Structure 1
Amino acid sequence: MINISLRFRWLTIFSCFIVLATLTSPVQAQDSRQVKEPVNPPVCTLVAATLTVQQIEAQDGAAPDTRRLQQAIAACPAGSAVRLVRAGENSAFLSGALSMKPGVSLLIDFGVTLFASRDPADFDRGAASCGQTDEKGRGCRPFILMEKSRMAGIYGEGVIDGQGGAKMLGRSESWWELARRAQREDKHQNVPRLIEIIQSEDISAYQIWLKNAANFHLTLNAVNGFTAWGVHIDTPSHARNTDGIDPVSSKNITITKSFIRTGDDNIAIKAGQQGATEFVSIIDNHFYHGHGMSIGSETHGGVRHVLVSQLTIDGATSGLRIKSDISRGGLVQDVHYRQVCIQNSKTPLDFDSFYGKRAQGELIPQFQDIQLQQVQVLTPGKLVFRGYDAAHVMRLQTSELQLAAGSVVQAQHAQLSAGARSDLTPDFRLQPAAESAATNTCASQFQPYPVYGQQQRRPQLTAAQVPHYAYEQVLGFAGLPGQERPDPWDPLAAPIPAAGQFRPDYVVSLAQPADGKTRFHSVQAAINRMLMDMAMHAQTQTQTGKPGKERIYILLQPGIYEELVYLPATPVPVSLIGSGSAETRIRANLDAAISGATYLQRFGQQFLDAPPAVREMSDSIAQKALIGTFGSPVLWVKSQGFQMRDITLENSYNKSGQAQPAACEGNACAGDGVYAKMNMVHHQALALMTDGVDKAQFDSVRLLGLQDTVYLRNQADGRTARNFFYRSYIEGDVDFIFGDATAYFLQTEIRSLGPRSSSYVAAPSTNLFSRYGFVFNQCRFTHDGSAYALSGKFYLVRQWFHNQKCTPYAEVPVTNYQCQAGDSNQFTSPSGTITRATLETVGKMIVLNSEIGTHIQAKNPWSDWNRRGTLPYRPAQMDSQDYWRNLLASKIHPLRDLGYREPPAAGQFLGEWNNRLGIDHASSAAQ
């Protein structure tokens, strides 16, 4: 690298100028808007794919999806999006030209590809010139047109493929070959642009992948407000006229966090007859092959107020480029290049007023106030600085410019104002190398072009792992975490009998008289009597030696039983069996935020005459200031070997999904801190809690709730508690299946409700050393068709960060924040401690042979626990290696602070196998 300070006399002359320039130049983005990361809009309708990628490649007829896509767009109201989703193995669409309705967006799922037709007739403007060469060009409509739109865009992590390299239907050449032929014939090619946005406001391109465009990928014409965030553009270097993003006569433009490699300009800022292009921010991007970061060639409308910052360019023919000529020139001014790294470029700096070799006209280019600050060129190349003439001098300012040895300078009618550490003298001559070169800050900035799907967080089980998740295996071990031993249990070998297949010991009926002995009007009354009888039977058995019953059966006849039901530990297992889940329902309305006094007022009467074990359960709730999550179940079970069949269990609290006032104990909600914001949420309300129950069995049950519907707890010492759900239905919206127990869900529907923008099916808190957590096999993950569900942003799981008060995994915006290992979980701002046991509640969940609807995120169905920067944050952990890596990167060292001697044995926390995605048939559960 050449890196020489200017001679002292030059440094003295220009140092004052540089200081003034720094003070008067904007240090933030030139885009005048306050730009934030886009958010996917609500969805108006789903359109399911009917083709595979292989079928697209073989397609030789009309594009089958044009009409239904255009109809969906036309029917969608402004402010919402048409969402393209996969349907099983079908993940492709094939369409001709599409016109977006104003205000309507397109959302394409990860793993879904929208292909442009190869038939020129599908894009022709009416003159039958599309797919031909002529003297005019522009005979094709764009693939996607967005005109006079507002607050809309192209969203999703799917792909739009222009098929530019594929043969046109009925032709012997591709779109790209046509463009090359036009070049040889000195004519214009008629080919479709990929996306064209015209006379629109506040448009976004978010996370979308664009590839193989026949012509320009994304053009903006007379647009005010455009954000490209996380966009990937990928077209071969030989594809002619395939610019990446071209803002033309537009303003307030931000392009960020994007990756672009193409056959022409990676970005080209242009200004035509419709006016200037101004207030442009191009920040934190990576360019590869292409023609570089360009301004021009059309500049006659004026280009001004442009910031290019944090950019890497690797392999482009030109690096930073301003190009124009007298046929299209104009004033280009106030352009700032900062923190730019360039390598493997033929012309790393290319500022030229003579772009067109045969250009004629009187539109003279003028380049003024062009600033290059912390620009590094790592490999040699040509450096071009050509102003038009002595009356139109190119003016540039440099600071900390570093150039590679061997570079060649071509300069005329250009004036340089050089700052410290510039590699050019003011007369544009390279200086000899200094004794101490400046640090190469670019070494870590270059990134390989991302591979589509490589960052997908959907770990798949190996074929060798799959047999370990058969239900006989998962339910065949029990014991303390890490010490489980074989304990065979096969619930399918001994199925729960249905009504009519057994002789009930107790009957609950709303329609028949109660006798207080074997017939009752409430479920709890039957349980109370059963407990009394059990106590008497135990005395009789002791006196006579006669064996008691092996199982007690309670039959519920059709009806809605408005009550709480508590079943304490019993010496004999209990079966609670209904007369069909649609006809038999236990229901109550309570939530974690009600006070113990309110609980006693509403439900205390039913427990007044209950046996001591039941009263103990009720009293443990009533004595609390707030009953909390664990006090909110409609059915609370402690009895080993419990069975339930053909019953609906419902906590009817807040089924509307509306947020409720916060309720807090002590100082939990004081002030406006993190915990105050955490508590301004919906309240937990359980339908079912199994409390340390091993071999709990559920068949054909319906469990209804919203937040925290089902809680499955291990035994008090962490010993295995196994739960088996078969042919059942469970619904909710946030963490609605949670706990540290082992649970197997077979042939069960799991339905996500959508009153909130985020939903999590499960929140396991499985111990690090426990053999199994939650396993879902042959299940259906469905949704309610709500707008949030249709947006496809829901998750399968977030691993419950149980008992945490602070996070060691990331910084929290608290001055002097600390979170260290300790004997308790506590946080008193700004510091706190967290226990090893809490860190080891990792959460395990496996999903196999199941159907997963489009409401679940396709790229990453496993969520972090809350957002980075909050006290409850923890990143999703796929396996024991993740667990160890996260600790090593945290503020707590596993060897020094936690007493580990070595990393834990290899183990899978989250994983999938043989699941079918995008299966979106209607839920079978009746409401």
Structure 2
Amino acid sequence: MPTTPAEPTPSTVPAPAPTKHRRRKITRTKVAVSAALAAGVAGGVLVSANAATTAAAALPASATGDSRTVVEPKVPSTVCKTLTAGLSMTSRKSDAAKEAAPPDTARIQAALDACKQSGTGTVAVKLTASTSTSSSTAAKAAFLTGPVTVPQGVVLLLDTGVTLYGSLNAADYQVTGKPTCGTVTTDSGGCKALITVSGANAGVESVRASGGAQGTIDGRGDMTLYGKSVTWWALATQAKTESRNQNNPRMIQAVKANNFTLYNINLVNSANFHVSFQNATGFTAWGVRIKTPATARNTDGIDPAGATDVTIANSYVMTGDDGVAIKGGSAASKNITVKNSHFYGTHGISIGSETTSGVSNVLVSNNTITGTDTLGNASASSVGLRVKSSAANGGKVSQVTYLSNCITKVKQPLVFDTRYSGGTGSSVPFFTGILVNGVRSTASTANAKSVLTGYDAARPLGLTLANVSLDTTALTASYASVGLYNTNLTPSGTGVTTSTLTGSGTVPTCTFPSYPAL
């Protein structure tokens, strides 16, 4: 695979016909899916293993994911304001005076505010490099900023090769009345995000060059904070050791911001979560490249929470926590697609652990998951495909489909766990209507195993395994009703029943692309 493809295409099955996403031609080998599944066969009721007089059921219908027709975004045609870089920052750091008071915060915010739209229109605030005026003067392509807010109808647009650096002065992020940002305490929430998206029809995007280069936002989580002797990542590690909370800023946080777009942007070295999309409808992440080491704690890739109509596509994600974490805590999440993307050193493509308000109609297709990052670091919790929750924050998770995904070098290829981390309470999780059709795992780590755990006999895990080949078949299973077709994984345990289904198709043929150069 080229290192900078227009659209990554792992070895995958085609999505079923009901899905509304437009696809480009995929050149790599795919798995043949039965015509019945491709057409979205209904009536996939599992039959018990001992019901000899009942005909075997067909595979259940697939989830359809995002209800929108999603095509590749375009950067805004109208540039409202253009700002020119005044810094070089070849070592990713400026002088002490600029680190104490980032010079670009005010002018970026002023431009964003001046371009706010009142209707559905979208314009850009563009960050560009300066041009060299002589052979002795280098062009400048760096901006240094504290927190900024992107308002309605505005796209923060980085030109090719431009880098926006986040402040290392923790005081810049301080939330009034909350714990001190840049410290480890019993509470959290002390820091504003580097970029807050506050209105509809907004975005964070860059201009991709023909060779694949993009603009970059660098959270500098690995660098020593101004006036301190610790990094953001070291605070996260300290918090784990002390069973407390780090107060670190997220990179991008969009709350109640409908129709938000991330497009062709590099997000690197975040101090905490890279992207959080909360309580809104309409989110497209396309051509996003997230690159933070597997050793950087709590640096989730993209987290839709209380989100409806979401597509995460054609992206590369390397982080120190979940690559994607779909959550349904205070509000339900539904109609979500994760497709044609690649994950490195993450905790997998996850749902949960907050599912109190429910998660439904999720389609995860044509992805690859590698348990190590590009630096060779193994994930501390290397998982392939995962749904996790507990009675502390559980609810119903239903109609989740995994179509033709490839997994390598992980500890747990498949995890469907209603008793995650031993959480207790009255919010009991119930996972049902989960279809895994087409998955292969290779090179699993020593003692690797999958987890298939329903909550109890009244709320069993409802799962179908079709066209599944795992290089390790070790598993833990309990309270599960599992339909089987062409799978080498046969669960057994307390409260586990299995049934044989009819179907067609084969296991994916997998290749795992390298992370592209940034």
Q: TM-score range by the shorter chain?
A: 0.7 to 0.9
Instruction: Note if 1:100 corresponds to 2:164.
Output: no
Shift of 1:366: 0.7
Contact 1:252 1:278 in 2 (8 A): yes
Shift of 1:55: 6.3
Q: Provide the rounded CA distance (Å) in 1 between the counterparts of 2:284 and 2:402.
A: 19
Instruction: Write the letter of the residue equivalent to 2:101.
Output: A
Distance 1:276 1:391, change over 3 A: same
CA distance in 2, matches of 1:246, 1:77: 26
| CA pair 242-15 structure 1, distance change in 2 beyond 3 A | farther
Alignment of 1:437-476 (within 5 A): 441-444=508-511, 446-452=512-518
Q: Return the match for 1:266 from 323, 341, 362.
A: 323
What one-letter code is carried by the residue in structure 2 that aligns with 1:387? G
The 5 A counterparts of 1:903-914 are: none
- Unaligned 5+ runs, structure 1: 1-8, 432-437, 453-927
- Residue 414 of structure 1 pairs with residue 480 of structure 2: yes
Per the normalisation by structure 2, the TM-score is 0.79
| Equivalent-residue separation in structure 2 for 1:12 and 1:66 (angstroms) | 70
Give distance in 2, aligned partners of 1:12 and 1:342.
Answer: 35
Please give the per-residue CA displacement for 1:203-251, whole angstroms capped at 9, x wherever unaligned: 1100101010000000011020000011000000111100000000110
Q: Which amino acid aligns with 2:216?
A: V
Q: How do 1:94-133 residues align onto structure 2 when only pairs under 5 Å count?
A: 94-127=144-177, 129-133=180-184
Distance 2:346 2:86 in 1: 35
Q: In the TM superposition, what whole-angstrom CA distance separates every residue of 1:404-442 from its partner, at most 9, and x where no partner exists?
A: 1x43111111221112x111236379x9xxxxxx97633
Q: Which amino acid aligns with 1:311?
A: N
Please say if 1:69 is aligned against 2:120. no
Cα distance change of structure 1 residues 384 and 318 upon mapping to structure 2, 3 Å threshold: same
Deviations 1:457-493 (Å, cap 9, x if unpaired)?
Answer: xxxxxxxxxxxxxxxxxxxxxxxxxxxxxxxxxxxxx
Conserved? CA contact 1:416–1:427, under 8 Å: no
State the 1:392 CA deviation: 1.6
Partners of 1:14 and 1:418 within 8 A in 2: no
Contact map agreement 2:283 2:310 (CA 8 A) in 1: yes
CA separation in 1, counterparts of 2:53 and 2:69? 38
RMSD: 2.0
Q: Of residues 194, 197, 220 in structure 1, which corresponds to 2:254?
A: 197
Please point out which of 31, 41, 45 is paired with 2:81. Answer: 45
Q: 2:182 and 2:407 mapped to 1: Cα distance?
A: 37
- Residue range with higher mean Cα deviation, 120-129 or 292-301: 120-129
Matches within 5 A, 1:272-671: 272-273=329-330, 275-315=331-371, 317-357=382-422, 359-380=423-444, 381-404=448-471, 406-419=472-485, 421-425=486-490, 427=492, 441-444=508-511, 446-452=512-518
Is residue 2:207 matched to residue 1:142?
no
1:519-566 superposed Cα distances (whole Å, 9 cap, x missing partner): xxxxxxxxxxxxxxxxxxxxxxxxxxxxxxxxxxxxxxxxxxxxxxxx
2:345 partner amino acid:
H
Shift of residue 14, structure 1, vs aligned partner: 9.0
Q: CA deviation at 1:12?
A: 8.2
Counterparts of 2:83 and 2:292, CA distance in 1: 27
| Counterpart-to-counterpart distance in 1, 2:53 and 2:262 | 46
Change (3 A) 1:120 1:12: farther
Partner of 2:129: 86
Change in CA separation of 1:45 and 1:399 when aligned onto 2, cut-off 3 Å: same
Offset from partner CA, 1:372-413 (integer Å, 9 cap, x none): 001111234211111112222111011111111x43111111
- Separation in structure 2 between the aligned mates of residue 408 and residue 145 of structure 1, nearest angstrom: 44
1:30 Cα shift? 1.3
Pair 1:163 & 2:199 matched: no
Q: For the residues of structure 2 that align with 1:233 and 1:294, how far apart are their CA atoms?
A: 16
CA distance in 2, matches of 1:13, 1:112: 67
Q: Tell me: CA distance 1:133–1:257, structure 2 relative to 1, closer, same or farther (3 Å).
A: same
Q: CA deviation at 1:32?
A: 0.8
Residues 560-588 of structure 1: CA deviation (Å, up to 9, x unaligned): xxxxxxxxxxxxxxxxxxxxxxxxxxxxx
Contact 1:130/1:140 (8 A) holds in 2: yes
Query: Where has structure 1 moved over 6 Å in runs of 4 or more?
Result: 9-15
Q: Are 2:469 and 2:507, in contact at CA under 8 Å, matched by a contact in 1?
A: no
Amino acid at match of 2:83: V
Alpha-carbon distance in structure 1 between the residues aligned to 2:393 and 2:406:
29
Q: Distance in 2 between matches of 1:310 and 1:320?
A: 12
User: Post-superposition shift, 1:447?
Assistant: 0.4
Aligned to 1:173: 230
Amino acid paired to 2:469: Q
| TM-score, normalised by the number of residues in structure 1 | 0.45
Cα contact 2:438–2:507 (8 A) shared by 1: no
Find out whether 1:17 has 2:57 as its counterpart.
yes
- Unaligned 5+ segments in structure 2 are 1-48, 132-138, 207-213, 372-378, 499-504
- Contact 1:162 1:211 (8 Å CA) reproduced: yes
> Does the 8 A contact of 1:417 with 1:426 survive in 2?
no
Say if 1:17 and 1:124 are closer, same or farther in 2 by CA, change over 3 A: same
Describe the SS at the equivalent of 2:366: strand
Shift of 1:326: 0.9
Q: 1:330: how far off? A: 0.6
Q: Deviations over 1:671-710 (max 9, x none)?
A: xxxxxxxxxxxxxxxxxxxxxxxxxxxxxxxxxxxxxxxx
Post-superposition Cα deviations, 1:29-74, rounded to whole Å, max 9, x if no partner, equal: 4111111111101211111000012264243221111011111111
Q: Distance in 1 between matches of 2:476 and 2:468?
A: 17
1:10 Cα shift?
8.6
Q: Which residue of 1 aligns with 2:285?
A: 228
SS of 1:298 mapped into structure 2? coil
Equivalent residue letter for 1:31: D
The one-letter code sitting in structure 2 at the alignment partner of 1:443 is: C
Q: Say whether the 8 Å CA contact 1:257–1:284 is kept in structure 2.
A: yes
- Mapped to 2, the partners of 1:340 and 1:389 lie a distance apart of 29
CA deviations 1:798-845 (Å, max 9, x no partner) are xxxxxxxxxxxxxxxxxxxxxxxxxxxxxxxxxxxxxxxxxxxxxxxx
Note the C-alpha offset of 1:289.
0.6
User: What does the per-residue CA deviation read over 1:288-322, in whole Å, with 9 as the maximum and x for residues that have no partner?
Assistant: 11100000011101000000000100115011011
Q: Percent identity?
A: 39
Q: 1:39 to 1:131 in 2, by over 3 A?
A: same
Amino acid at match of 1:37: E
Tell me the SS of whatever aligns to 2:107: helix
Match of 1:183, SS state, is helix
Matched, 1:30 2:74: no
- The answer (yes or no) to whether the contact 2:311–2:337 under 8 Å persists in 1 is yes
CA distance in 2 between counterparts of 1:440 and 1:180 reads 39
Amino acid paired to 1:332: V
Which residue is equivalent to 1:696?
Answer: none
Distance 2:109 2:205 in 1: 17
From the superposition, tell whether residues 180 and 39 of structure 1 become closer, same or farther in structure 2 (CA, over 3 Å).
same
Structure with the largest fraction of helix: 1
Structure 2 vs 1, CA of residues 189 and 209 (structure 1 numbering), >3 Å: closer, same or farther?
Answer: same
Report deviation, 1:183.
Answer: 1.2
* Paired position in structure 1 for 2:95: 59
CA distance in 2 between partners of 1:303 and 1:224 (Å):
14
Letter in 2 for 1:391: A
Kindly indicate whether structure 1 or structure 2 has the higher relative contact order, using CA contacts under 8 Å at least 6 residues apart: 2
**Distance change >3 Å, CA 47–CA 392, structure 1 → 2:** same
Distance change >3 Å, CA 169–CA 91, structure 1 → 2: same
TM-fit CA distance, 1:195: 0.1
Change (3 A) 1:53 1:384: same
Q: Cα offset for 1:338? A: 0.4
